[in-house]
Structure 1
Amino acid sequence: MDSNEAYSPSASRPAGITSTMKTFLSLILVFLIAQVIGVVLFGLYLHMKLDKVGDELNLQEDVTFLRRLQKCQKPENRDASLLDCTKVLSHFQDLVRFQVPQESSMAKQTGDKRPSASIHLAGAKDNRKILQWRKSVYAPSDDTFSYQDGKVTVSKGGRYYIYSQVAFCTKRAPHAPFSLYVYLNLPSELDQLLLKGVGTHGDSDDLCGLQSIHLGRAVELQKGHVVFVNVTDSSRVNYDHGNTYFGMFELS
């Protein structure tokens, strides 16, 4: 070989993947990813479409059933040859029997309870021994109770909590102790004492050394029972807002 022979660059071969091949492979990969996304989106669309068609078919069946039921309710259509009214009415009655127990069960599970009955009254100035009352602002009002001449009547038997507070003026002797009573009035019987509270003398030189007595307890009442509040000296009762009140509420 001649040492002066020139080296030919065309004799060398490129190593690895060319840029054209890389571009081609990238396009194929993008195409495959687009195909997968397209298939997924089409599947979701088809699923939603089938659900919608199913709902429409169910709605159409319900409308058809209601139309048949409406026709079967008319006497002239019950004997029609194209309508099996006996089967339609029987199916409707089965649906009603199934729905009513289901609703009752749901009501029990959710703890559906009626609100407890209650009444709250504020003191009304009067000179009678039995204290008089009036409806208090924002206080509950319930048909379970009726009020007249200082007495609250219960229209439904049950267990109730009765409470009362009376504010009164207290002075030094010779005034007698101030007492508060809550009575149960029974027909043709003597009044039964439910609660009693006794106030003490004050040592204040003011015209009215204000004190209060608060009572409360649970009782079992029957329909028609009457409850009222009594004091030893109603002229000493203080009727300022929130000082004197009487009420009861039903215990669950």
Structure 2
Amino acid sequence: MDSGEPYPSTTPRPAGFTTTMKAFTSLIAVFVIAQLIGTVLFGLYLHMKVDKVGDEISLREDFVFLRRLQKCRKPQYSDATFLDCAKILSSFQDLLQDQKSKIPQESLLAKRTGDKRQAASIHLAGCKSSKRVLQWKRSPYAPMDNDTFSYQDGKIKVGKRGRYYIYSQVAFCTKPETHAPFSLYVYLNLPSEADQLLLKGVGTHATSYDLCSLQSIHVGRAVELQEGHVIFVNVTNSSRVNYDHGYTYFGMFELS
């Protein structure tokens, strides 16, 4: 054998085989990428689904709790149910207290103010009469709470116990020849006792020679009254009273 003879050359690979390998590799890469994208999308969908199921479970738990609470509040279920009603009711009370503690104090104050009942009041205008106890009538646009006050024969009757402010004004004519002062009195009428004087006002006599020198007396104060108490006004001489609109009036209102 001749040692100088060259080794036989390697047989070259066909061009078709190389193209096939590249196409297969590309296909594998595309498949892997698609698999990754699909996995990510499925993970997001699964996460959203779990959250939704969790919310539904939470709502169902609330519904079940309300059903249990409803059964525990019905007397017919108190003996027939196996529920621990004492524990359920206690949990419900704790929940209410927790929610109340979260409400701002300003909101509670606004709610109390909004729900507060308006103070009862009555305002009457003078009505001409020869009686010593002055008579009155409803005044235009003036309030009168019939649940708290009633009026009859010159007297206001209080319908409930409370603290009230009483006021009255009487306008009157005074003449130089009349030397006796004109007086206004507000009384509390008690059936089994003597009338108690609550307010008194005194006017002076005129210094001019006019036919009628117009003057007025105004009195007012806060009092504590009981249900059934009666208030009335009288004067020394009702013939001198001026009953023109806005001059002579009598009223009271409830203090908060």
Fold match (TM-score > 0.5): yes
Structure 2 counterpart of 1:189: 193
**3-state SS in 2 of match to 1:86:** coil
Residue of structure 2 in register with 1:62 after alignment: 62
User: Which residue identity is paired with 1:145?
Assistant: F
- Structure 1 gaps of 5+ residues are 1-45
Task: Give runs of aligned pairs for residues 104-115 of structure 1, distance below 5 A.
Answer: 110=109, 112=112, 113-115=116-118
TM-score of the superposed pair, with normalisation by structure 1: 0.62
Structure 1 pair 67–235 and aligned structure 2 pair: CA distance change class (3 A): same
Q: Which residue of 1 aligns with 2:133?
A: 130
- Pick closer, same or farther for the CA change 1:128–1:74 going to 2, 3 Å: closer
CA contact (8 A) 2:181 2:202 kept: yes
- Give the C-alpha shift of residue 182 in structure 1: 0.7
RMSD, matched Cα: 4.0
Could you tell me which residue of structure 1 aligns to residue 156 of structure 2? Answer: 152
- Of residues 97-106 and 226-235 in structure 1, the stretch that sits farther from structure 2 once superposed is 97-106
Identity %: 65
| 1:118 and 2:121 are equivalent in the alignment | yes
Secondary structure of the 1:110 match is: helix
Give, in angstroms, the shift of residue 55 of structure 1.
7.0
2:160 and 2:211 map into 1 onto residues whose CA distance is: 44
How far residue 69 of structure 1 moved from its aligned partner, in angstroms, is 4.8
SS in 1 for 2:83: helix
Looking at CA atoms only, which structure, 1 or 2, has the larger radius of gyration? 2
Contact 1:180 1:232 in 2 (8 A): yes
Structure 2 CA distance, aligned partners of 1:200 and 1:223?
36
Pick closer, same or farther for the CA change 1:69–1:189 going to 2, 3 Å. closer
TM-score for both structures, normalised by structure 2? 0.61
Q: Kindly provide the amino acid, as one letter, of the partner of residue 84 in structure 2.
A: K
- Corresponding residue of 1:7: none
